Structure 1
Amino acid sequence: MTKIAIIGSGFIGRAWAITFARAGFDVALADQAQGAPEAALGYIDGVLPSLAENGLLNGESPAAVRARLSAAPSYAAALDGAVHAQENAPEVLDVKRALFAELDRLAAPDTVLASSTSAILPSAFSEDLKGRARVCVCHPINPPYLIPAVEVVPAPWTSGETMTRAADLMRAAGQAPIVMKTELDGFVMNRMQGALLEEAFRLVAEGYASVEDIDVGIREGLALRWSFMGPFETIDLNAPGGVADYAARYQQIYERISPSQWHRVDWNGPVMEQVLAERRARLPQEQLAERQVWRDRRLMALAAHKRKAAADIGA
């Protein structure tokens, strides 16, 4: 049985553990904080039945998936026999550097060392490692057991074999890898999301629309197509002659709009008072946790629907 080491068993680590165990891998969770792996397993025990109810355990029982998960007493024990280590430490560069130095020392030479970082370039914490060619980023959208996209990002010295192995493992785990050709600040998903958020804050700050109207535009508009198509496929299907026809018809609109988007507003400036007031009017602070549970249940239902639609209609 192929073994995966989860290094850091907090919010992201426990989600990765579910993802890999569901796909049939043996998963060992390790953490420097005593009791953290056991706490993660307790959390997972509460999630697996809901995934089973939504048909998201690949036809297996929660008990069968849970049997593949274990708490390791040390990083060395978790790494013993692992083909892939998924690191989930805090987003602090010095922490990453120290941890990857330890992982590089402890792991077998052919173990891929991947970070879940969403903001730190892999070159920043792998440059001085003896085994730096086997280090990459595998950055998920959380939780990966419900959202399959994952960015696979190389440092300049990451080997092609490492990138291939990491991407193949993600596919085997049911994920959809975005295989980047070189590292870039923000990777792909945060840059795309950031562009949308920048415009959303501008539209609110400059008085063009309310917070809820912006959310409606995405929730009830663009996101309906984007939930099963990307932006390039969307425009390829939105003009009679395809993507080139779309560009010929509509590029002038975006070219005209673009100069008005070359400035930004401070998200924590005066606009935050309006955003916060409107959001708290719709969702009081004390109901955030409850709404997060609602979000995850909706994501489960959407993931189940997408699987069924792909089988019935085609991906």
Structure 2
Amino acid sequence: MNQSKIDMSKPVAVVGAGLVGAGWAIAFARAGLSVRVYDANARVASEAIPWAGEQLSALYRHGLIAEPPENVKARLVIAHSLEEAIEGAAYVQESVLERVEIKRKLMTDIDAVSDANIIIGSSSSGIQASMFANDLSISPRVLIAHPVNPPYLVPVVELVPSTQTSQETIQFADTFMQAIGQSVVHVRKEIEGFVLNRLQAALLREAWALQRDGIATCEDIDKTVRDGLGWRWSFMGPFETIDLNAPGGVADYANRLGPLYHSIARSRVDDGPWDTELIGRVEQDRRQHLSAADLGRRREWRDERLMEFAVERSKAGPR
């Protein structure tokens, strides 16, 4: 198989049909690919297709897909076994539970039934591929392809090779993900949490600590990001942000504010894990603004906002 070229006539497989897997199925089908959806829990797989149809209708309503949603949905089919899902597929997106032993079992099962060409991407949020995919015949063809949920609305995908992933597999995944409209980030070395979740972890660490210490409520912390940092971060990253925030650019910014940031970082070196008491306090704080019963409705609201944002981003054209 020439892994530098993508044969869009071949099907792809989604293994694990929860929110992330079903989201990937939409992203693949939207790009014109035939998608086989498999989950060891048949109920989860059966629910994924109708849910995807609802999301496709919303995408069509916002003008984010040109085809009628029923045409795109028709490219999604349920596979009743792992072997049926991956037979003849060009690519497999694994989206099972974030546990090493479950991912390892799936990789050994794929190893037993796959052909010599198939590429496997894992949706792992932070577990390195070397921990579950090494020392198999498929190992050179496995890498992390970690999305932001939902992947059909937020385009970034982190590609993280294991210690045994081939360069050809990385190139294939890069070309493939770009072909379906994703924004590819290459993580050059394995590290827990990759790039996205390590950046998110740093912000969350400080957010929880600020609430714990009585500095600000959850709502005011959210407001600081939503109505402040997030405005810039919606179209530029942290390095470009600071490069533009000092007259002389990034070096000038570092010289001016580097000591402050170092002092802030040092003030948090003894933070421990989020304990039961703190989690309870934050839960109580959040429930003042959103009841548990309304979480599903609010997720739908979030996805509608993301669709509106995607429309506006598309008007701006390439960066």
TM-score normalised per structure 1: 0.94
Q: Which of 92, 98, 103 is matched with 1:96 structurally?
A: 103
Matched length: 311
Equivalences for 1:54-203 in 2 at 5 Å?
A: 54-57=62-65, 59-203=66-210
CA distance in structure 2 between the partners assigned to 1:292 and 1:101 by the alignment = 35
Runs (4+) of structure 1 exceeding 3 A deviation are none
Which one-letter code corresponds to 2:63 in the other structure? Answer: G
Give the Å deviation of 1:77: 1.8
Give the Å deviation of 1:155: 0.7
2:264 match = 257
Identity of aligned residues (%): 43
CA distance in structure 1 between the partners assigned to 2:38 and 2:280 by the alignment = 41
Q: 1:4 touches 1:28 (CA, 8 Å); kept in 2? A: yes
Once the two structures are superposed, residues 94-131 of structure 1 have per-residue CA deviations (whole angstroms, 9 ceiling, x without a partner) of 21111111112222211111111113210111123122
Give the Å deviation of 1:228: 1.1
Q: Which of 206, 213, 220 is matched with 2:220 structurally?
A: 213
Once the two structures are superposed, residues 142-198 of structure 1 have per-residue CA deviations (whole angstroms, 9 ceiling, x without a partner) of 110011111111111111111111121111111112111111111111111010010
In structure 2, runs of 5+ residues without a counterpart are 1-8
Give the Å deviation of 1:241: 2.4
Give the Å deviation of 1:12: 1.4
CA distance in structure 2 between the partners assigned to 1:272 and 1:35 by the alignment = 32
Q: Which of 5, 19, 22 is matched with 1:11 structurally?
A: 19
Give the Å deviation of 1:37: 2.9
CA distance in structure 1 between the partners assigned to 2:72 and 2:205 by the alignment = 41
Q: 1:205 touches 1:265 (CA, 8 Å); kept in 2? A: no
Q: 1:9 touches 1:40 (CA, 8 Å); kept in 2? A: yes
| 256-265 or 290-299, which deviates more | 256-265
Give the Å deviation of 1:252: 2.2
Q: 1:205 touches 1:271 (CA, 8 Å); kept in 2? A: yes
In structure 1, runs of 5+ residues without a counterpart are none
Residue 42 of structure 2 aligns to a residue whose secondary structure is coil
1:48 match = 56
CA distance in structure 2 between the partners assigned to 1:31 and 1:211 by the alignment = 36
Once the two structures are superposed, residues 28-61 of structure 1 have per-residue CA deviations (whole angstroms, 9 ceiling, x without a partner) of 112222344332111111111101111211x222
Which one-letter code corresponds to 2:15 in the other structure? Answer: I
Q: Structure 1 residues 97, 305: CA separation in 2 closer, same or farther (over 3 Å shift)?
A: same
Give the Å deviation of 1:265: 4.3
Q: 1:30 touches 1:74 (CA, 8 Å); kept in 2? A: yes
TM-score normalised per structure 2: 0.93
Residue 14 of structure 2 aligns to a residue whose secondary structure is strand
CA distance in structure 2 between the partners assigned to 1:172 and 1:193 by the alignment = 27
Q: 1:202 touches 1:265 (CA, 8 Å); kept in 2? A: no
CA distance in structure 2 between the partners assigned to 1:10 and 1:269 by the alignment = 28
